[in-house]
Amino acid sequence: MIKITPFKAVRPTRATVGLVAARAYQSYTVEERESRMDYNPYSFLHIVNPGYKYAQEVTGEERYKLVKNRYLEFKEAGVFIQDEKPSFYVYKIVNRRKQEFTGIIAAMSAEDYEKDIIKKHEDTIAQREDNFKTYVQTVGFNAEPVLLTYPDNDTIAKVIKETQKNFAEYEFTTTFRDTHYLWKLDNEKAIAKIQQEFEKMKTVYIADGHHRSASSYLLYKDEKSKNPNHNGSESYNFFMSYLIPESELVIHGFNRLIRDLNGLSKEDFLIKLDEFYRIENCGEYPFNPAEPQQFSMYLDGEFYSLYLRKTAFEFNTALDKLDAHILYKTVLEPLLNIKDLRHDSRISYVNSQHNNVTIKSVVDSGEYAVGFGLCSSNVEQMKQIADEGLTMPPKSTYILPKLRSGITIYEY
């Protein structure tokens, strides 16, 4: 039974929302960040990068305290206002590729995360979890929802459709040419109908935001242990999420770029690769894998197609069927001696939305020796791996939609 709860979001005014909304901090180059803050005093980047005001880098607890100060300044200036009634928020994104994503921003139960009915498919790093927990405890808010996905549901879809007949609270387009819409849903009967449908569900799945959800759970445990009057209704019992139906989730993969061949010659590498793959030299013609267990490779100015030899690999779990895991177990670890996919400096990743031309250009530059293209995984694979209690290798999925910070804020 999934618990989904309305909350009183803190939100930018309609006039400023397009200026406030920001991508994830790490997605900007330093030059992009500074340019946006130079010319846009409303950008949420001013809150999460408070040292900019003093032209210096601020870190740790000092940064967290300044983030809180900048946030309070935005509230005091009337840039942010808080809704009077607990609400769900119907949120729609139409990106430049004309893909549409429509779901519900709501508060989800940290207890459901603890019970593993909010399921994950990625490992998290304990230090990052703890850092974000401390950050939220200090600043007192979270401005970026965790992306969750749920089975398509006709009743929920109908409520969303009815809500969209009303005037949108927000409608704005970003410089990425993505258009964002938000409707406030505070009708108690409609809220109850959505809650009843989620109560019938056994599980929902984290699509993106594993560290934020893990940190929210740590916060819940910490605050609960310190509160002798804990009753389960406190704000720390929940974390902000954006829930979209499974049919709307878009999963891309990450291609792999490797800096060297681990001391092997091109010929020796191909001979060793032959143990696991049927290899075809495509010359200058790029090969695009069309189905699982096919890979493209670019090496020494030529494209290759790789077809996994089924007799050379055992499929015992859902993870064994994941192309990112297959490539790791057959090539990266045994042949190229790359064991730590998260930290080894010899491997880099490029979003598979970038085509083979990107792989070719960086390998031809000499920065990398070989590049591999993978098929994207799908929602069913993600769910099966989560259901079996397994986790995907790092950079297995690049999931859309990508959310903006500062549009709805959950206060603790």
The number of C-alpha atoms within 13 Å of 78 and in the hemisphere containing its C-beta is 2
Identify whether residues 182 and 291 lie together within a single domain: no
Q: CA–CA separation, 302 vs 283, rounded Å?
A: 5
Threshold 0.75, pTM exceeds? yes
- Beta partners for 372? 256, 297
Domain with 21, as residue range(s), is 4-250+400-411
Same domain? For 208 and 284 the reply is no
Question: Domain count of the chain?
Answer: 2
277 and 205 part of one domain: no
What one-letter code names the amino acid at 338? Answer: I
Q: What is the pLDDT of residues 106-146, one digit of tens each?
A: 999 999 999 999 999 998 888 999 999 999 999 999 999 99
Q: What is the mean pLDDT of the chain?
A: 95
**Residue 69, Cβ neighbours under 10 Å: how many?**
13
Same domain, 104 and 175: yes
Residues 225 and 265 in one domain: no
Task: Determine the Cα–Cα distance for residues 79 and 62; give it in Å rounded to an integer.
Answer: 24
Torsion sign (Cα): 82, 87, 90, 91: positive
pLDDT tens profile 132-141: 999 999 999 9
* Sequence-distant contacts of 307-311: CB under 8 A, at least 24 apart: 307/277, 307/278, 307/279, 307/280, 308/276, 308/277, 309/275, 309/276, 309/277, 309/278
Omega of the bond leading into 401 within 30 degrees of 0 (cis) = yes
Residue type at 144 in one-letter notation: E
For residues 384 and 405, membership in a common domain is answered with no
Predicted local distance difference test score (pLDDT) of residue 352 = 80
Same domain, 90 and 187: yes
Low-confidence ranges of the chain (pLDDT < 50): none
CA distance 273 to 314: 17
Q: Kindly report the backbone phi and psi dihedral angles of residue 372, in degrees, each rounded to the nearest multiple of 5, phi listed first.
A: -120, 135
What's the pLDDT at 354? 67
Residue 38: how many other CB atoms lie within 10 Å: 10
* CATH number of the domain that residue 387 is part of: 3.30.1760
- Do 182 and 45 lie in one domain? The reply is yes
In this predicted structure, what is the pLDDT of residue 58? 86
Tokens of 213: 């959800």
Tokens of 296: 């493209």
Mode of pairing for the β-strands spanning 146-150 and 238-245: parallel
Position 75 scores a pLDDT of 97
69 and 93 in a single domain? The answer is yes
| CA–CA gap between residue 146 and residue 403 (Å, rounded) | 9
384 and 320 fall within a common domain: yes
Q: Are residues 10 and 34 in the same domain?
A: yes
156 and 39 in a common domain: yes
